[in-house]
Structure formats: C-alpha cells, structure tokens
C-alpha cells in the first residue's frame, strides 16, 4: 500500500470547499492551491482554510502551473469539460464535480483527451457513496439482490430558500439556464453505479414550469423524469429537479431475489442512511429472509464523521485519492460519468421529439463518436451556436428583470452587507 500524500488543487470556492474540509480530516491528500476569479470568495476561503502553505489564484491558467497531482473542478456545472481538457493537457489528473459535459461534442473530446493524455479522470458523483446506495452496490455485487429487474432514483431538492446564494441573481447562471434534465446524475448515477450496467435507451417526461420556478427565475420545467433501459433489459426511473415542494433523496432496487430500498425522508428514519431489505435466500418463491432495516456504514464512512452529504463527499474523495496513490478505489471513470449524464441529455431529446424512445450510444466504441463530434446541442448560447436548445421544452418562460433584481439584492445583503466573512454552506 502506498503511503504517498496526493497534492491537490481546487477550482471554485463554493462547492470546492469539500476539498479543504476533506484534507483537514483525511491523511491521503494535501490541499496546495485554490483558484477562483471571485476575489472576495478567495478571501473567505483563505480565512476558512487558515493554512499559509496554500497558494491562491484568480487565473485558471496560472493555477494550472502549480505543482500538484490533481485538480478538483468545482466551477460552473456546464463548463467542466473544457476545464478538464485544459487540466489534463497541462499534465494534471482531474476530479470533476457534477456534471461532466454539456454537449455530445464535449463528451467525445473529453473521452479522447483522457485516452490520449493517459491522465486519470474521476467523476465525483457523491450520491453513489451515500450509505444506503453504497451498501446496495455491495449487496448487488455479492449477488444478494440477484439479477437487476427494476429500480428508482430520486433527487428532489427545493432550493428556493438558498437561490440567492446559488445564483447571485444572475439571469444567465447555469442553474437558471439548464433544462430540467441536465442535473440528472444524483438520481440516475447511483442506479448505474450499483448495477455496473450501461443505460441503452431512455424516454423523458417533463413536469411543467411552475410558480416556484417563476419566483426563482429558473427557466425550465419543474422536474425531469427519465425511464431508462439498462443493457440487461431492466428498467429504472430517475426523477430530479427543484420544482416540487418537498425534498426527496431515495433509491430502490428490485432484483430476482427481492428488493432493497432506502428510507424516505418523510418517514424520519435516517433517509439514505437507512436501508430496508426484503430478500430471498434464492430465487425460489417463498424462501424469504424477511424484512430487515439497518444503518450501513462502510469503514471509510465511519471516518467521515458524517460530514458532507452524510459522509458521501468524504467517501467519494477517499476512494479517488487511494486510486491516485495506486492502491485502487471504487471510482467513477469518464465512460461511466458520461453514461450517467447521457441519461438526461437524451431524455431531453426525447421530450423535444414528442416523447420518443432515444438510444444512448456507447461512447467506448470509437466508431460511434463521429456522429457526435460536432454536436453542440445545449441550452448555453455561448457553446451551442446555431444548435441552441430551449431550456424549457414548451418555449423559454419570460422572467421579469425584477425577479433577478430582488434575488441579487438578497445575495448582496448576505455577501456584502455582512462584516464577518460567511463560511461556505453545503448545498
Ligand atoms: N455533488 C454535489 O453534491 C454538489 C453540490 C453543490 C454543487 N455541486 C457542483 O459544484 C459546482 C460548483 O457549484 P457552486 O454551487 O459552488 O456554484 P457556482 O457554479 O455558482 O460557482 C462556481 C465557482 O467557480 C468560480 N469560477 C467559475 N469559472 C471560473 C473561472 N474560469 N476561473 C476562476 N473561477 C471560476 C466562480 O467564481 C464560482 O465561485 C457545480 O458544478 C455544481 O454542480 C455539486
């Protein structure tokens, strides 16, 4: 076992704070550099980190010259792919926050960059490492659930209360401009990671733009729903978005030997930290072991102290840093990351095409990449050019400027009005 300590840098001081929080606790990584173009944010980070050996940058190119093994990308969710490509070309390994890419052209470029540079690319889809879904993966790999038949993944997060902090009142912020299908990997990702199977087909359904989205200035449907077929023919439902009133993070897997599911929030029984199993000893009818309920914790999760999305931030990073040390880890590579993302991308194409079933290509196959090399379809005008998609399938809602002004004022009140620097909240 290598005892090397990995030198890590981070881009983006909001969500990027997971890296310095992790490094304060874990022994396998050391924070060496932080980059953000937001100067006040850098000052806040400096205060929270409190380590004089860390170097701070406001320019990404300068940051990339720093001596470090890996860069965690926690910049805008729709800009990860070009930054990952630049980092790998500069000789750095990459950890990407969600999402991995915003177009199929970027997806192809990202994969080819990993293959060409030989650098390690890790997708930090932390929801796969929450206690419940992580245990579901262990049970599935042990054969205890049997062959996958049907599953569900839910990530509903009503962020209206924190929207000012999240978007700064910027009408063009990615959280306001993405479609309901973009942020799909918290719900679809765990099902893909548990089963280890590739999604091959998807049908999308979009819940309507509603009064909540209107108040937030989010120009999209409230919720995206994906019905996904995996390569063995099994099906899962993935639902995600901020358009419902009450939050829900929940996973369920039905296999040939029964069912495992996490607790629903409303039951007040530990949510994704609690697992219910109703499994059979064999596939024979009537060999039931009965229903059990327990609170699974991996050894690494115990070290996390439950910090950061129930400890999942810690477990995801621990696996990645162990892998970087050469010790192996349960990680998500570029192909699996893009499988997770394509669920939402093609579900939205399904919606835009009247609800037809869409094939999800296997980007591991080089011959399938050509047709997507110039595919810039997305909701970001800077990238899409003449292939721009609406962020809402029924046409982009018109939001009054006053909505953003009010949200901006709230952001200024929190970030400029206060004398004390705020610490970074978990979202
Ligand atoms: N996995 C999770 O549970 C989770 C939770 C929250 C956010 N996220 C992800 O983390 C990422 C960041 O989200 P966020 O909420 O912190 O806010 P954000 O996307 O609004 O902020 C990104 C930060 O990166 C900085 N930045 C962007 N481009 C830059 C550039 N070219 N040079 C220097 N700095 C740059 C911005 O100034 C900002 O501080 C997103 O990808 C989001 O999806 C993941």
- Rounded to whole angstroms, the Cα distance separating 181 from 341 reads 9
Q: Which atom of ligand 1 is nearest to the CA of 83?
A: 31
Residue to mutate (ligand 1; options 34, 37, 76; most atoms within 8 A of CB):
76
130 lines ligand 1 (CB under 6 A): no
Instruction: Return the SS3 of 4.
Output: coil
| Helix and strand counts by DSSP (H, E) for the chain | 15, 15
Name the DSSP letter for residue 151. Answer: E
Instruction: Return the SS3 of 133.
Output: helix
Polymer length of the chain: 427
34 lines ligand 1 (CB under 6 A): no
Could you read off the pLDDT tens digit of each residue along the chain, which spans 427 residues? 888 899 999 999 999 999 999 999 999 999 999 999 999 999 999 999 999 999 999 999 999 999 999 999 999 999 999 999 999 999 999 999 999 999 999 999 999 999 999 999 999 999 999 999 999 999 999 999 999 999 999 999 999 999 999 999 999 999 999 999 999 999 999 999 999 999 999 999 999 999 999 999 999 999 999 999 999 999 999 999 999 999 999 999 999 999 999 999 999 999 999 999 999 988 887 778 889 999 999 999 999 987 788 899 999 999 999 999 999 999 999 999 999 999 999 999 999 999 999 999 999 999 999 999 999 999 999 999 999 999 999 999 999 999 999 999 999 998 876 544 445 555 5
175 lines ligand 1 (CB under 6 A): no
126 lines ligand 1 (CB under 6 A): yes
CB atoms within 10 A of CB 254: 20
Residue to mutate (ligand 1; options 10, 12, 95, 380; most atoms within 8 A of CB):
12
How close is the Cα of 382 to the center of ligand 1, in Å? Answer: 18
**Long-range contact pairs involving 262-270 (C-beta distance under 8 Å, separation at least 24):** 262/132, 262/133, 262/136, 263/132, 263/293, 269/293, 270/295
| 238 burial level (CB within 10 Å; 0-12, 13-18, 19+) | buried
**What is the side-by-side order of every strand in the sheet holding 29-35?**
55-57, 29-35, 6-11, 70-73, 93-96, 121-123
Name the DSSP letter for residue 265. Answer: G
38 lines ligand 1 (CB under 6 A): yes
How close is the Cα of 97 to the center of ligand 1, in Å? Answer: 8
97 lines ligand 1 (CB under 6 A): yes
- Rounded to whole angstroms, the Cα distance separating 348 from 354 reads 10
Domains in the chain: ranges and CATH: 6-126 (3.40.50.720), 128-298+334-387 (3.30.360.10)
Q: Which atom of ligand 1 is nearest to the CA of 15?
A: 16
pTM for this model (two decimals): 0.96
Residue to mutate (ligand 1; options 18, 75, 312; most atoms within 8 A of CB):
75
274-306: b (≥16 Cβ within 10 Å) or e = bbbbebbeeeeeeeeeeeeeeebbbebbeebee
- Rounded to whole angstroms, the Cα distance separating 287 from 53 reads 60
The four Cα atoms 75, 200, 179, 352 give a dihedral, to 10 degrees, of 150
The string of DSSP codes covering 159-175 is -GGGHHHHHTT-TTSHH
Partners of residue 384 on adjacent β-strands:
none
Cα 304 → chain centroid: 19
What pLDDT sits at residue 169? Answer: 97
Q: What angle do CA 301, 162, 394 make, to 5 degrees?
A: 105
Sorted by sequence, the CB contacts under 8 Å of residue 295 that are 6+ apart come out as 131, 270, 273, 274, 275
185 lines ligand 1 (CB under 6 A): no
How close is the Cα of 413 to the center of ligand 1, in Å? Answer: 21
60 lines ligand 1 (CB under 6 A): yes
């Amino acid at each position: 076992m290598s005892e090397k300590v990995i030198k890590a840098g981070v881009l983006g001081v909001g969500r990027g704070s997971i890296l310095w929080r992790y490094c304060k606790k874990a022994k396998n990584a050391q924070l060496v550099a932080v980059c953000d173009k937001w100067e006040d944010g850098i000052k806040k980070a400096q205060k929270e980190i409190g380590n004089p050996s860390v170097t701070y940058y406001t320019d990404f190119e300068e940051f990339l010259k720093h001596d470090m093994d890996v860069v965690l990308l926690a910049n805008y969710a729709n800009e990860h792919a070009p930054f990952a490509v630049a980092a790998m070309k500069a000789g750095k390994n990459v950890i990407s926050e969600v999402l991995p890419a915003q177009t199929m052209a970027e997806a192809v470029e990202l994969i080819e960059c990993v293959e060409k540079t030989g650098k390690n690319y890790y997708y930090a889809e932390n929801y796969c490492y929450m206690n419940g879904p992580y245990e579901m993966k262990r049970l599935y790999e042990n054969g205890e659930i049997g062959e996958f038949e049907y599953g569900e993944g839910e990530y509903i997060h009503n962020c209206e209360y924190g929207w000012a902090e999240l978007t700064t009142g910027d009408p063009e912020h990615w959280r306001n401009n993405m479609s309901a299908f973009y942020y799909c990997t918290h719900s679809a990702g765990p099902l893909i990671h548990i089963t280890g199977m590739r999604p091959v087909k998807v049908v999308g359904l979009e819940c309507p733009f509603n009064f909540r989205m209107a108040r937030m200035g989010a120009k999209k449907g409230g919720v995206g729903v994906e019905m996904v077929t995996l390569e063995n023919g099994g099906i899962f439902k993935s639902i995600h978005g901020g358009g419902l009133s009450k939050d829900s993070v929940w996973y369920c897997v039905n296999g040939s030997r029964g069912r495992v599911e996490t607790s629903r929030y409303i039951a007040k029984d530990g949510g994704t930290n609690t697992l219910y199993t109703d499994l059979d000893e064999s596939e024979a009818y009537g060999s039931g072991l009965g229903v059990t309920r327990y609170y699974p914790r991996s050894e690494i999760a115990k070290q996390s102290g439950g910090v950061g999305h129930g400890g999942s931030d810690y477990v995801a990073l621990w696996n990645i840093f162990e892998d970087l040390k050469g010790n192996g880890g349960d990680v998500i590579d570029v192909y699996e990351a893009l499988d997770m993302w394509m669920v939402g991308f093609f579900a939205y194409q399904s919606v835009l095409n009247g609800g037809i079933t869409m094939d999800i290509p296997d980007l591991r196959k080089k011959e399938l990449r050509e047709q997507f090399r110039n595919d810039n379809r997305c909701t970001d005008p800077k990238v899409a050019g003449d292939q721009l998609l609406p962020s809402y399938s029924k046409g982009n809602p018109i939001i009054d400027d006053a909505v953003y002004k009010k949200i901006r004022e709230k952001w200024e009140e929190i970030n400029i009005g206060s004398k004390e620097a705020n610490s970074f909240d978990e979202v």
